[in-house]
């Protein structure tokens, strides 16, 4: 394939390439743009140079923007955020003011909007759902708390969301065309996805397991191993180069982070999973205030998510889980569905089994919450020949979408009260 054709294909893959995609993109940019611009202009919550972390929902905005975050979790993100910070500083003439925050917000606005377009592309081009159904599912997904928060938050999760959905769609497309994922794509995905959050790098290699007739031909297995080794080698060389090849420092810091973020909390395990890991990334619970201070003694208020206080919220989360599992069972032999769910199980293992960051797992939604609309899409696909079941599922989707929208609008009002009180 010629370089020009490759570039054209990449543009069509990443950006809207059909009228419905473009209209959706503009709609989301407008909606998230109004929200993010208002917050960036009127409040200092997006970036306050005095607040290192945890100003809202445990996001580390300042630390991420200034340094790319800790190397043990975000090994290569400093390279990306150095460029982003440079653009924002150039626009703001070196001042950490509203202009600086506005640039950070708009990078997030565009990125989350593109992520939603990728979900739509998957629903239309991989699952082949009707336009109206694909649009409804994407609109439902756009109201998720994760998308709302990441649309104005300069964090690794914002860009991880986009990269993971993009790669999920790309790899599914390659399998549908019965083509192998080239080593260049694997390497680029490994460096970007794994570079922003190291635990996600394993998700890059999951689609390779589903290449056609892989385990029937030892030559194909060898070829897959070679591609993986080459892409991992590039990632490791870049990672170790950043650390000046100090392996001991990497292991000791990683152990410290696991001990720090895996301590058991008072909240029952099932409620942390329901209210934060699953629910907190879809449906806002109530909020709690805490007092914090930086190393220089500057005191500030921080906002965190509480567990659900309404039975309706637990019913909402339970219903979504039932629909996802229903979809998984009905499509169990579908390799695209297995790709999606195995990727999701990686996060279940990390957060729910190993309990890493489970008490603040509502910030990790960018790593996995896109699985919900994809699995809903596959559920509709499984019953594509049953008008009755399609109607039932569509009715359920509309009901939960209305509840989601009303709940999240109400909670965002509380969020704005918090901003008005402490971050004007």
- Look at residue 4 and tell me if it is in a domain: no
pLDDT at 244: 76
Phi, psi at 289, each rounded to 5°: -100, 145
- Give the domain extent around 290: 14-260+269-422
Q: Is 195 part of any domain?
A: yes
Tokens representing 371 are: 């699985």
Is residue 196 one of the residues assigned to a domain?
A: yes
In a domain, 1, yes or no: no
**Is 5 contained in some domain?**
no
How many CB atoms lie under 10 A from the CB of residue 172? 22
- In 276-317, DSSP assigns E strands to 287-293, 299-305
Per-residue pLDDT 10s for the chain (424 aa) are: 567 777 888 899 999 999 999 999 999 999 999 999 999 999 999 999 888 777 899 899 999 999 988 877 889 999 999 999 999 999 999 999 999 999 999 999 999 999 999 999 999 999 999 999 999 999 999 999 999 999 999 999 999 999 999 999 999 999 999 999 999 999 999 999 999 999 999 999 999 999 887 877 888 889 999 999 999 999 999 988 887 777 666 666 555 555 555 565 678 999 999 999 999 999 999 999 999 887 777 889 999 999 999 999 999 999 999 999 999 999 999 999 999 999 999 999 999 999 888 988 999 999 999 999 999 999 999 999 999 999 999 999 999 999 999 999 999 999 999 999 999 8
Give CA–CA dist 374/329, Å, rounded: 14
Residue 137 domain-assigned (yes or no): yes
* pTM of the shown model: 0.94
State the Cα–Cα distance between residues 92 and 116, nearest whole angstrom.
29
What gap in Å lies between CA 141 and CA 377, rounded to an integer?
11
Six-digit token pair at 46?
């997006």
Token pair, residue 29, equals: 């940019």
Own/partner pairs, 259-267, CB within 8 angstroms, 24+ separation: 261/356, 261/357, 261/360, 262/354, 262/355, 262/356, 262/357, 262/358, 264/355, 265/358, 265/359, 267/307, 267/359
Cα–Cα dist 100/40, whole Å: 9
What does R_g of the chain's alpha carbons equal in angstroms? 21
What is the predicted pLDDT for the residue at 119?
Answer: 98
How many domains does the chain divide into? 1
Q: Is residue 96 part of a domain?
A: yes
Distance CA 74, CA 413 (A): 32
**Cross-strand pairs, 134:** none
Annotate 222-239 with three-state secondary structure: HHHHHHHHHHHHHHHHHH
The distance of Cα 160 from the centroid of its chain, to the nearest Å, equals: 5
Residue 6 lies in a domain: no
Q: Which residues pair with 301 in a beta bridge?
A: 291
Identify the pLDDT of residue 2.
67
DSSP state of 56: B
């Amino acid at each position: 394939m010629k370089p020009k054709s490759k570039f054209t294909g990449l543009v069509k893959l990443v950006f809207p390439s059909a009228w419905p995609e473009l209209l959706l993109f503009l709609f989301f940019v407008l909606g998230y743009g109004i929200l993010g611009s208002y917050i960036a202009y009127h409040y200092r919550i997006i970036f306050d140079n005095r607040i290192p972390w945890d100003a809202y929902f445990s996001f580390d905005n300042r630390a991420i923007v200034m340094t790319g975050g800790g190397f043990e979790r975000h090994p290569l993100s400093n390279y990306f955020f150095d460029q982003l910070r440079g653009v924002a500083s150039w626009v703001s003439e070196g001042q950490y003011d509203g202009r600086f925050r506005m640039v950070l917000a708009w990078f997030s606005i565009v990125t989350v909007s593109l992520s939603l377009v990728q979900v739509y592309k998957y629903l239309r081009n991989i699952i082949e759902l009707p336009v109206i159904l694909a649009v409804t599912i994407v609109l439902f997904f756009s109201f998720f708390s994760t998308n709302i928060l990441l649309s104005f938050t300069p964090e690794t999760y914002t860009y991880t969301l986009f990269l993971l959905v993009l790669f999920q769609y790309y790899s599914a497309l390659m399998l549908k065309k019965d083509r192998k994922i080239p080593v260049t794509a694997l390497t680029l995905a490994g460096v970007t996805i794994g570079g922003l959050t190291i635990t996600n790098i394993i998700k890059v290699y999951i689609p390779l397991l589903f290449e056609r007739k892989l385990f029937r031909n030892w030559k194909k297995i060898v070829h897959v191993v070679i591609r993986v080794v080459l892409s991992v080698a590039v990632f490791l060389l870049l990672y170790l180069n950043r650390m000046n090849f100090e392996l001991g420092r990497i292991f000791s810091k990683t152990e410290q982070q696991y001990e720090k973020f895996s301590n058991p909390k008072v909240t029952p395990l099932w409620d942390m999973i329901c209210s934060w890991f699953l629910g907190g990334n879809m449906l806002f619970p109530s909020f709690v205030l805490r007092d914090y201070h930086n190393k220089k003694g500057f005191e500030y208020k921080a906002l965190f998510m509480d567990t659900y206080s309404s039975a309706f919220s637990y019913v909402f989360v339970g219903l979504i889980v039932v629909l996802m599992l229903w979809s998984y069972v009905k499509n169990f032999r579908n390799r695209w569905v297995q790709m999606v769910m195995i990727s999701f199980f990686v996060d279940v293992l990390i957060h729910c089994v190993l309990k890493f960051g489970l008490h603040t797992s509502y910030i990790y939604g960018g790593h996995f919450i896109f699985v919900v609309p994809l699995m809903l899409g596959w559920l509709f696909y499984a019953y594509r020949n049953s008008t009755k079941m399609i109607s039932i599922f569509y009715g359920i989707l509309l009901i939960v979408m209305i509840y989601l929208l009303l709940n999240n609008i109400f909670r965002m009002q509380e969020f704005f009260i918090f901003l008005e009180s402490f971050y004007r």
